[in-house]
Amino acid sequence: MKYGDLSESILQGVGGKGNIKSVMHCATRLRFKLKDHGKADTEGLKKNPGVIMVVESGGQYQVVIGNHVAEVYQALVSQTGLGEQTEEQPESKEPLFARFIDIVSGIFTPFIGVMAASGILKGLLAVALAAGVMSDSSGTYKALTAASDGLFYFLPIILGYSAGKKFGGSPFICMTIGAALVHPVMLQAFQAEQSGAQPLHFFGIPMLLINYSSSVIPIIFASWLSCIIERLVHTRQPAAVRNFTTPLICLAVVVPLTFLLIGPIATWLSQLLANGYLFVYQLNSAVAGALAGAFWQVCVIFGLHWGLVPIMINNLSMLGQDTLLPLLMPAIFGQAGATLGVLLKTRDVRMKGIAASAFSASLFGITEPAVYGVTLPKRRPFIFGCVGGAMGAAILGFFHTTAFSFGFPGLFTFAQVVPKTGFDASVAAAFAGAIVAFSFATLATRFFATVDDPLVEAAAPAAPLTSVNPDLLSKTIISSPIGGQLLPLDQVKDETFASGLLGKGIAIKPAQGRVVSPVNGTVSSLFRSKHAIGLAADNGAEVLIHIGIDTVKLEGQYFTAHVKQDDRVSIGDLLIEFDIPAITAAGYDLTTPVIISNSEDYIDVLAASQQSQIEENAALLTLIK
């Protein structure tokens, strides 16, 4: 698996499999529930080149990775067998708000991506109607409407599944409860009652019928109660029958109780929450916008933004529209603009690569790589992004820009704020607010932020090495661990290496199946699959040799290690042998990056040879300090 090495190092960093109670992932981060946070090596994880940031919030230990988090998660699951299992236990030490954030994120995270996709599709259909491209009576429109609205219509069923898992019960029992809430028989009875028919009774008790389609809070409370009952009755029954008697009891108790009590009370709370938000928003919508735009990214940093997700979904359920989601969109464009400002100003090649990747992701609402990797470490760009977000969101608030479907704030939000009546001032305000936020953050960062330290400035093109007194420079030579054809790092068919995120260096297409030590030092890491090795040189350089692309999938086959971790090595010592014909026949690219992992400690890392071929032990890289 492509990200097996990273997942393995993260697993060690969080204290091993035995320290994990549960793990899930969202768009950019792994979210762990750990038994003991003290066993986690937070500083070590932060130094890992594959980790952007580590955040402890809401009772979760969050490892921010970036856009490839799903691949790392799958690798972690494969290595540990954890899957999506949870081990929920009462934790009285956690503050109530932290537990609330954990519950909300646990329930909504598994399907937040498809929910956002559904909302975007609804927005695009609204644009198509407003532009006259499509008719609401056409089969195409109806089919796509069903695709975009299916999740929201049957939301209680989806929530029942994820809530059941989060509360430690059977997700299928909770799904069935959700299905009962939106069953056609009950919806028809609700519609008949609205037309003046007599209310239904359950054993003589009148039922207050409600349309539960797209509802959020009732099924969460019902699932919570079902999981409690399930735990109470399951172990108290004979093993031969409890697989069907436990669900029978849960359904027979919880479904009627939901129609009689839980549903009406939860719906009342939902309306109270929606009306409460509406009251605050209507006090001064421009000020509400400025506050939302300014502090949204601060909430994201600490994982507190999950507390606002139910408000947005609840607004759509209760009111049919939401004004909170549009207010967050300028905050996204503010950080995107600040990231672009850093990209335009920095002279650090590595930072340019990080900023370019983070900028493109942030436009679509994924700002963690931009915040943790670019703007927050530089401080002023992050502040300028927040200020720009406040300015832009104030414009949207003043013109009451409204979203009509759920999604991630970002580029697609423009489609989601178009009403069925067509383009109006509120839509124009969305564009104006985004432009203001983006432009302010970009220009302020470009002209008023310090984004490079003195070492980077010294390495910049404006101050070439030839203009520096050679007596003031220290040069370190790294030998070649492999003989073969030289390639620039940016030609490696793996973005992680090609972008320079792991450090500067060069790549070699090996002519022989052996790797020797390019330095005098120690083996700092030897991966279990034997396809990569890290060396800590006596001269301070940290060297990573990664044999081939994706060769971790071979799980050590065709590789033979001649050293182990912490072994002492000298230049020319044999480290690893590998079978070139067998690996090539298996379909793998043997291009081998040789990376200086601590490149930031040097003014520059240069190729020592201008030839296209290199011999084993010949000078490969020059490190300038």
Catalytic machinery residues: 26, 546
Dist CA 331 CA 387 (whole Å): 9
b/e 334-364 (16+ beta carbons within 10 angstroms → b): bbbbbbbbbbebbbbbbbbbbbebbbebbbb
CA distances from 155 to 183, 225, 256, 317 (A): 12, 18, 19, 10
Sheet containing 559-561: give its strands across.
514-516, 574-578, 559-561
The answer to whether the CB of 53 falls within 8 A of the CB of 375 is no
For 194, the token pair is 């609205």
The count of residues in the chain is: 625
The answer to whether the CB of 523 falls within 8 A of the CB of 564 is yes
The answer to whether the CB of 342 falls within 8 A of the CB of 449 is yes
Closest of 515, 527, 516, 592 to residue 553, by C-alpha: 527
Dist CA 22 CA 334 (whole Å): 34
Closest of 574, 606, 594, 577 to residue 509, by C-alpha: 594
For 209, the token pair is 């019928």
DSSP 8-state symbol, 545: E
- Region of 352 please: left (phi>0), alpha (psi -120 to 50) or beta: alpha
CA distances from 9 to 16, 410, 623 (A): 9, 32, 27
Bridge partner list, 549: 589
The crossing angle, in degrees rounded to 10, of helices 4-13 and 69-80 is: 70
484-487 and 53-57 strand pairing: unpaired
Please list the alpha-helical segments (H only) found in 182-241.
Answer: 184-194, 217-234
The 3-state secondary structure of 85-154 reads CCCCCCCCCCCHHHHHHHHHHHHHHHHHHHHHHHHHHHHHHHHHHHCCCCCCCCHHHHHHHHHHHHHHHC
Which residues, in sequence order, are CB contacts of 530 under 8 Å at separation 6+? 556, 559, 560, 561, 576
Dist CA 347 CA 352 (whole Å): 7
DSSP 8-state symbol, 277: H
Sheet containing 604-607: give its strands across.
475-479, 619-624, 604-607
Dist CA 279 CA 284 (whole Å): 9
The 3-state DSSP class for residue 554 equals: helix
Dist CA 583 CA 21 (whole Å): 38
